[in-house]
Amino acid sequence: MVQGTSPMPGLNAPDNELASMVLASSKYQRWRNLVESQGNKILQHDILSVISRTPGTWYVALIDCLLLTPEENIIKRCVTIRGESVVIVPILQCIDDSQLYTIMVEQRCICDGALHIGFPAGSTDEIANFRSMACQELREETGIEILPEELIELSEGISLNSSLSDDLIYFYAFRKDVTRTWLDSIDNSNSGIHGEGEYIKVKVLTLSDSFNMATPSTLIGESLVRKVLGIYI
């Protein structure tokens, strides 16, 4: 369900349930606090549209802003508010051949409608415990169960599109010894929450093959795995 709001002057909340929900959320407040902590003043912002998938929640908001910068410049910018995301890099040591493998997920993406492959990932609804969120996404997308304390933090929040989105991505990894039989059992299995339009094919790849893919998550994942864990492929 896509619902829009009429432009609103100043910082007044609009007479619209979804837009009011955005303004009351921790996702919106985190973005506003970050902007203002850099010395900017939000002179005006208009919530142009809000996407809600289930009643009582919202997924993304498009906001048009007028900012006064610390340099006394007035600039107009547009931002999508989505909140934080997590990416999980599985590092699996096969006890049968001593190779390092990983798990990736393949699904169709709205950017072009094609099948895309990447590490398990997902966005948070509100500011939350990112480790617990990462474990939940891993379970939903791959069926793998791990505990939050098994995750290795690879980074603080990383922005991939700072000119348009507030989305900060937190990268995690975990290490696990597995058998060849286990890898074969999970490869090409189906997962995802079908009721939410998520149809996933689980893929097993060598860690080196995954790092040869030129995608943002694999390029960043490889760099962080090298830096934090000292793993070079």
Chain segment 120-160, per-residue pLDDT in tens? 998 876 556 899 999 999 999 999 999 999 999 999 889 88
Per-residue pLDDT band for 203 (boundaries 50, 70, 90) equals very high
Predicted pLDDT at 16: 80
Pair (220, 186) in one structural domain: yes
What b-and-e string marks burial along 17-49, b requiring 16 or more CB atoms within 10 Å of the CB?
ebbebbbebebbebbbeebeeeebeeeebbbbe
Pair (89, 178) in one structural domain: yes
Q: Which of 47, 81, 115 is where one domain is finished?
A: 81
Per-residue pLDDT band for 65 (boundaries 50, 70, 90) equals very high
Pair (97, 146) in one structural domain: yes
The predicted model gives 175-185 an average pLDDT of 97
Inform me whether the pLDDT recorded for 26 exceeds 80.
yes
Q: Which of 52, 81, 110 is where one domain is finished?
A: 81
Pair (39, 89) in one structural domain: no
**Selection from 58, 106, 97, 111 nearest residue 206 by Cα:** 97
The predicted model gives 4-10 an average pLDDT of 39
Per-residue pLDDT band for 13 (boundaries 50, 70, 90) equals very low
Q: Which CATH number does the domain housing residue 164 bear? A: 3.90.79.10
Q: Which of 62, 81, 100 is where one domain is finished?
A: 81
Chain mean pLDDT for the chain: 88
Q: Which domain holds residue 95?
A: 85-229
Inform me whether the pLDDT recorded for 1 exceeds 60.
no
Pair (137, 158) in one structural domain: yes
Rounded Cα–Cα distance for residues 204 and 142 (Å): 11
Rounded Cα–Cα distance for residues 125 and 62 (Å): 16
Pair (12, 124) in one structural domain: no
Predicted pLDDT at 5: 40
Inform me whether the pLDDT recorded for 113 exceeds 90.
no
Pair (91, 65) in one structural domain: no
Phi-psi region of 165 (alpha: psi -120 to 50; beta: other; left: phi over 0): beta
Task: Return the percentage of the chain with pLDDT > 70, whole number.
Answer: 92
Prediction pTM value:
0.85
Inform me whether the pLDDT recorded for 193 exceeds 90.
no
Pair (63, 94) in one structural domain: no
Predicted pLDDT at 66: 95
